[in-house]
Structures are given as C-alpha cells and as structure tokens.
Amino acid sequence: MTRRWLPYPILSALLLLIWLLLNQSIAPGTILLGALLGVALAKVFGLLRPPKARVRNYPLLGLLFVRVVVDIVRSNIAVARIILRRDSRMQSGFVAIPLTLTDHYGLAVLACIITSTPGTIWVSYDSSANILLIHVLDLVDEASWIDSIKQRYERPLLEIFQ
Amino acid sequence: MSHLDALPPWAAILVAVLVLLGALLAFVGSLGLLRLKNFYKRVHAPTLGTTLGTFFMLAASITCFSVLHDRPIFYEILIGVFLTLTTPITLMLLVRAALYRDREEGSADVPQAPPHE
C-alpha cells in the first residue's frame, strides 16, 4: 500500500519542503497541496523508470558535503588569483581518470562536484572503459589530480552509493 | 527604495559587503572570460559567479529581507540548489561540443576519442 502510493518517500518529502519554502507558509492548506503535489510528482517520476538509488551512509554524505563546500571556497580563491595575476606560464590540460565508481547517482554527484568546483570541469565519461576525462585549469601534476579526485570524492561516493 | 530605510545600519553594512563580494566574484569570473586564452580555460571562469558569487548574493538577500520582515526568510537557498544542479549540464554540453569539434578537426591539443566510439 505504502509502496504503491509513496514509491519515493524522500523525493515526495523534498518536493513538499520546496513547496512550503516557495510559499513561505505552513498553513494546513499549503501543506495539503504540497503533499498532494509531492505524491503526484513522485509517481510521475516513477514513470521514467529511474534506476534504484540507495544511500547507504548518510553521515558520510554530510561529511562529503562539507568537504566539497570547503574545496569550492578554496578553488574560488585559487581561480580568482589565476585570473587576476594573468600568469601566462599557467598550464592547463586534460586528465584521464580511471574510475571504480559505476553507480549512476554517484557519477551524477561526482559530475556536480567536479563542475561546481572552479578550476575543474567534467568533460566526458567513457562508460565502457569507465574512464573519466576532466579539464583542469591549473595543471601542475597529473598524477596528484587523479589521486586527489579518487581519494577525496570517489572513495566516499563509492561507500555512499555502491 | 524607501522601505530599505527601515534597515538598521549594521544590517545595511553587512548586506552591502555581501553584495559587493558577490559582484566582485562575478566580475572576476567575467574578466576571466576575457583574459584566458582558449575555450577550455575560459569555461572555468564563470563558475566563480555560480558558486561563491551566488552564495554571497543569496546571503545578502536572506539577511536583507529577514531583517526587514523580522522573520527568517530563506527560500533563496532554493536558487542555490537549482543553480548547483543545473550549471554542470550547461557547462558539460558546451565543453563536449567544443571537444567534438576539435576532435573532428583533428586538433592535437585535445585527447583523441577512445577507438570504439
């Protein structure tokens, strides 16, 4: 019964939360409409037949979030410095990273992390060889980039999603 | 802008500093578009505006309207969430289009496509 009406409880709850935030009210009518929207839209989402997502480790997800926020702030400063200094010796280039992560949601989160962090951009992902190609603005040492992406982001994502 | 007069000085200063920081980051990002030499370098610059730049702007908005209305207003957070979820898509599309073009032209500056593609 619950599975039928509430196939994606977290998604429904998030949609309700967004609805309440947008309306800036917790009146019963708003909650009712938000809950209806949450349930209905989650059912529509189910029609897309999305692959099943399982978050195994919520505390680690929080830890990863904090780490990403710190990294975003640090690389904002680093990239701003590069732009303002006009350093012409700066080398940028592509880095190919062999991944172990194969979960779709994990990869999607990794894409958001890498692209949101200034200085690195997700270029392409080869799903058969499981190799990720990224572009790095200030590329000093290729191996250290591969290592840091794998250690800082891929490892926690593996534990969370896979 | 008369209702902004109701903002106490400490809040006004805080909001001003936050707005200026956000604008500064967006400006540096735009400057990067101008200064960096090739396409792949240039796509990195605007992310300053979409991350910390947006953060400062949203913080300014949250502070300003929470103080003015005397209650916490934080639905601006949603702008941050949606921006973080959607910018990667635009950037990846742009970069992949550029990579495709460069590979077709046989440019030596980009890594070649894996053989099976």
The 10s digit of each residue's pLDDT in B26-81 is 999 999 999 888 889 898 998 888 889 999 999 999 999 899 888 888 888 899 88
**Model pLDDT for residues A72-129, shown as the tens digit of each residue:** 999 999 999 989 987 777 788 899 999 999 888 899 899 989 988 888 999 988 888 8
The domain total for chain A is 2
In a shared domain, residues A23 and A87: no
The domain total for chain B is 1
- DSSP character for B4? G
For residue A39, give the nearest of A10, A76, A81 by alpha carbon. Answer: A10
Structure tokens at A86: 């006009």
Q: Is A72 on the interface with B (CB under 8 A)?
A: yes
| Residue A40 covered by a domain | yes
In a shared domain, residues A43 and A106: no
| Residue B39 covered by a domain | yes
A121–B114 CB contact, under 8 Å: no
State the residue range of the domain holding A109.
58-161
**Rounded CA separation B49/B22 (Å):** 7
**Rounded CA separation B59/B53 (Å):** 10
| Residue A30 covered by a domain | yes
In a shared domain, residues A63 and A124: yes
Query: Which of B28, B73, B84 has the CB atom closest to A84's CB atom?
Result: B28
Which residues of chain B lie closer than 8 angstroms to A125, CB-CB? none
Q: Is the pTM for the entire model greater than 0.80?
A: yes
Which residues of chain A lie closer than 8 angstroms to B79, CB-CB? none
Q: State ipTM.
A: 0.82
Residue A2's pLDDT band (cuts 50, 70, 90): low
- Starting from the edge strand earliest in sequence, which strands make up the sheet with A93-98, in order? A93-98, A131-136, A120-126
State the residue range of the domain holding B37.
3-104
In a shared domain, residues A40 and A68: no
Count other Cβ atoms within 10 Å, centred on residue A9. Answer: 14
